[in-house]
Structure 1
Amino acid sequence: MSSEQTNTSSTEGVKLAGATSSTADEQSGKSSVGRKVAAGAILLAGVGYVLTLFVMGLSDRNAAERDFISYWAAGSLAVQGGNPYDPEAVRQLEVNAGRDRNAMVLVMRNPPVALPLVAPLGLVSPKVALIAWLILLIGSFGASIWLVWLMHGKPGSSYHLIAIGFAPALACLMAGQFGMFLLLGVVLFLYSEQRRPMLAGAALLLCTFKPHLFVPVGVVLALWIVTARKWRVAVGCVGAVTAALGIALAIDPQAVNQYLSFMRAGEAASERIPALSVALRFAISPHSTWIQFVPLILACAWAGWYFWTRREQWNWGDHGMIVLLVAAMCAPYGFLTDECMLLPALLAGVYTAVERKRSLVPIAFFAGAALLELLAGVEMKTPYFMWTTPAWLVWYLYATRGSIEAESRSISAPAL
């Protein structure tokens, strides 16, 4: 056989082997995709079945027993031309929906920018509104988990599924609270701030639904926008807030005055909320409301210093998580449901700990303890949940120690 024939045979053999390998890879890929599609279909069918059973058991009274009823009542009053922040008008609606007359009236404490979101709820019955609201919350939760997974490079592990057992998220769904929107706002900002700054700014609208939880973050955000000249983020934020406020005033022209009057009444100040700042106030002087704002002021001062000393290497996915955790811990008041917004920090700590081969026992202990308390029926307003915000901060510091300052690990959005 000639050398030319030998080379030809060799080349054809290589091509045949390559084609066989390529075919095998394609078949393997198709098989993998097929398995994922099948698994996804089974999961969706299971979720759909559970939701169907859940929805069938709902009634107006079920809605009236949740925090959600305050949003429905506010929406109802807003679309009817009433005052969504009037405790007596809210009480009457809630009692008519099935709430116990002796139960505490639940008035929506969110500022008027939230009215465009809750107003449509008032167009339907409490039961229908609750179903739509839960679908919206679950969709926001799922989108947030997916975006966090993308931000961390689509890891092959399933650690992001830890989020499903995160006690604040489950508590938020059980109560029908706003926490999921805070989470979505934080995640959308982190996902978009480098490549889509205006979208990142607009996402901050969701955080204004409970602005007292983000004051130190706001301090850093303002400094960052000015020093890094991130004007498009500012434009997106101001534009979104202005639009939401404009819609709110179109629905209720007196919304701002009504909200300010309600807040000046200071009903929230009389509650023993499971927050460190509130505990500090009741320990020193129960009637001195200003005391519970001291931790917030100190946190703002610390946040300004923390940013300024790191402004050249600032990374929201790393440094920003610490500020967010401190802001939640030092908030003048807050509940377990609000801690949904800390999920990106919790998962970032998990991924970093796995990468650096650090133990996951601390987060398993903290998350497990919070989940057991919740499932055991411990009331969220009791002091037994006061430990959670410090625990999430301790976990993040433990998981990322030495890594944040040593490297500037970006979690900006990859291409979809």
Structure 2
Amino acid sequence: MRKGLMVLSLVLACLALVAELAHVWRGYEFGSFGTSDFIEYWSAGQLLRQGKSPYDFDALYNVERSVGWSEETPLIMWNPPWTLTLMLPLAFLPFNIAAFLWFCVNLAILFACSAAAWRLFAPERFLRQVGIAWIAAFVFMPAIFTLQMGQISSLVLLGVAGFLFFVARGNDILAGACLALTMVKPHVIYLLLVTLCWWIATRRRWRVLLGLAAALVGLTAVVLCFSPHCVEHYLLAMREPPLYWRTPTLGGVLRILLGWEHRWLQFFPSVILSLATLICLIVKAAEFDWDQAISPILLISVPTAAYGWSFDQVVLLIPYIQVISLIVQNGRERIASSAPVLLVLLLTNGLMCWQNWRGLDDLYQFWVPLALGAIYIYSRVALCHGGHKEHK
């Protein structure tokens, strides 16, 4: 009975949301909520479906100008070619409809991934309290930033969540295929990829690699059907990568402190941590549990990635939901230990919101993964009082 009511409530809420969104989509245009970054993906898709190079910056600029872009330089899509296949269906639609639909897709991804994370960390409370995860997700500011910008960082989150879901069920092919979604921004979760290589080699889970490779080959093949030289054009574009960005990562901070001309500092943290992680796994990790390892992996990867933005921090929704699950499982009788965690989470989201409202440089969001990491460690020490089922 309770399950039926929950499903009915969810269906009614979704219908109400769709009705409201359908009412406003007619006024949707560049500059509306969820369009500022989406324009680069839609414009690149326009070039691709016409058989042109999505990495032709002059052509990209002309397309962007046609739908309202007013800056003097184009907003460039630096993502790998296979990204275009995922966004290609939207390129066959007018910009306003495509942007509106992508906003809806992003909403659905956040709903699905927060529910999947809740099921992972609080399986016994999934049906009764999954609404807590949904509420938590939509007050998580990186999720709001992703929606606001019309970003594709949500695909990385979906890929990680899908990988965890399928690997726990022994479906290695689909687990690997889900990881293809993370390849739109592989640098954001680079330590997951390092750990994955070690795990596949030591556990002989080669089907995961097969699923990943098959998905990437398939996605790339679609792109090559439209633009046979797309991969070549991407590699040419990446000869001059955008190392001028002031990113909220450790590499960006090091360059500001030690000299902006030292480009190698951008990559130094991720290289060192990749080697350190691999050594630790080889030496110490006889037992390994993805469910318990994923949060530390993400919390270290995001702030030390070669580059990334505040909306890329949406992948931290997974450790964030884990902390929320620990608070809920802690119970009312231990509210004294839970209250500080909840308060700090609220303050963290509030400060992020304030920084965004004031229009501060994204560089100043560097502290967010560090704060979430500290909250996570405290929560595991102070609140954790039970184990989760292992999936090795």
Q: Which residue of 1 aligns with 2:217?
A: 242
Q: Distance in 2 between matches of 1:330 and 1:182?
A: 17
**CA distance 1:65–1:245, change in 2 (3 Å):** closer
User: Are 1:47 and 2:17 counterparts?
Assistant: yes
1:216 paired residue among 176, 191, 207: 191
- Letter of the aligned partner of 1:125 in structure 2? P
User: Are 1:160 and 2:133 counterparts?
Assistant: yes
Q: Which residue of 1 aligns with 2:201?
A: 226
Please list every run of at least 4 consecutive aligned residues from structure 1 whose deviation after the TM superposition is greater than 4 angstroms.
none
**CA distance 1:229–1:363, change in 2 (3 Å):** farther
User: Are 1:298 and 2:298 counterparts?
Assistant: no
- Letter of the aligned partner of 2:113 in structure 1? S
Q: Distance in 1 between matches of 2:352 and 2:23?
A: 25
Deviation at 1:45, TM superposition (A): 3.9
**CA distance 1:382–1:154, change in 2 (3 Å):** same
Identity, % of aligned pairs? 26
SS where residue 389 of structure 2 aligns? coil
User: Are 1:362 and 2:341 counterparts?
Assistant: yes
Q: Which residue of 1 aligns with 2:158?
A: 184
User: Are 1:120 and 2:120 counterparts?
Assistant: no
1:388 paired residue among 362, 365, 368: 368
2:249 paired residue among 275, 282, 291: 275
Alignment deviations for residues 218-248 of structure 1 (CA, whole Å, 9 cap, x no partner) = 1110011111111121111111111112222
Deviation at 1:41, TM superposition (A): 4.4
Q: Distance in 2 between matches of 1:380 and 1:237?
A: 38
Q: Distance in 2 between matches of 1:99 and 1:59?
A: 11
Structure 1 contact 277–291 (Cα < 8 Å) conserved: yes
Alignment deviations for residues 99-156 of structure 1 (CA, whole Å, 9 cap, x no partner) = 1143x42111110111111222322221111122112212222221222232231513
- Letter of the aligned partner of 1:160 in structure 2? A
**CA distance 1:34–1:199, change in 2 (3 Å):** closer
Q: Which residue of 2 aligns with 1:343?
A: 317
Structure 1 contact 64–98 (Cα < 8 Å) conserved: no
**CA distance 1:349–1:302, change in 2 (3 Å):** farther
User: Are 1:78 and 2:52 counterparts?
Assistant: no
Q: Distance in 2 between matches of 1:203 and 1:82?
A: 28
Deviation at 1:55, TM superposition (A): 1.5
Structure 2 contact 43–64 (Cα < 8 Å) conserved: yes
Q: Which residue of 1 aligns with 2:179?
A: 204
TM-score, L = length of structure 1: 0.84
Structure 2 contact 118–325 (Cα < 8 Å) conserved: no
Long gaps (5+) in structure 2: none
Q: Distance in 2 between matches of 1:293 and 1:223?
A: 21
Alignment deviations for residues 198-227 of structure 1 (CA, whole Å, 9 cap, x no partner) = 111110001100011122211110011111
Structure 1 contact 76–123 (Cα < 8 Å) conserved: yes
Q: Distance in 1 between matches of 2:361 and 2:37?
A: 12
Structure 2 counterparts to residues 125-136 of structure 1, below 5 A: 125-136=94-105
1:89 paired residue among 53, 59, 62: 59
Alignment deviations for residues 324-354 of structure 1 (CA, whole Å, 9 cap, x no partner) = 2101110011111111111111111222344
Structure 2 contact 34–149 (Cα < 8 Å) conserved: no
Q: Which residue of 2 aligns with 1:10?
A: none
Give 1 or 2 for the bigger CA radius of gyration.
1
Structure 2 contact 248–303 (Cα < 8 Å) conserved: no
Q: Distance in 2 between matches of 1:190 and 1:403?
A: 23
Q: Distance in 2 between matches of 1:51 and 1:340?
A: 23
Alignment deviations for residues 352-389 of structure 1 (CA, whole Å, 9 cap, x no partner) = 34435442533543454334543652447433211111
Structure 2 contact 35–148 (Cα < 8 Å) conserved: no
Q: Distance in 2 between matches of 1:73 and 1:64?
A: 15
Structure 1 contact 113–245 (Cα < 8 Å) conserved: yes
Q: Which residue of 2 aligns with 1:6?
A: none
Q: Distance in 2 between matches of 1:310 and 1:199?
A: 28
Deviation at 1:60, TM superposition (A): 4.6
Deviation at 1:78, TM superposition (A): 0.7
SS where residue 266 of structure 2 aligns? helix
Q: Distance in 2 between matches of 1:48 and 1:123?
A: 22
SS where residue 168 of structure 2 aligns? coil
- Letter of the aligned partner of 1:365 in structure 2? V
- Letter of the aligned partner of 1:183 in structure 2? L
Structure 1 contact 58–127 (Cα < 8 Å) conserved: yes
Q: Which residue of 1 aligns with 2:143?
A: 169
Q: Distance in 2 between matches of 1:367 and 1:189?
A: 29
SS where residue 313 of structure 1 aligns? coil
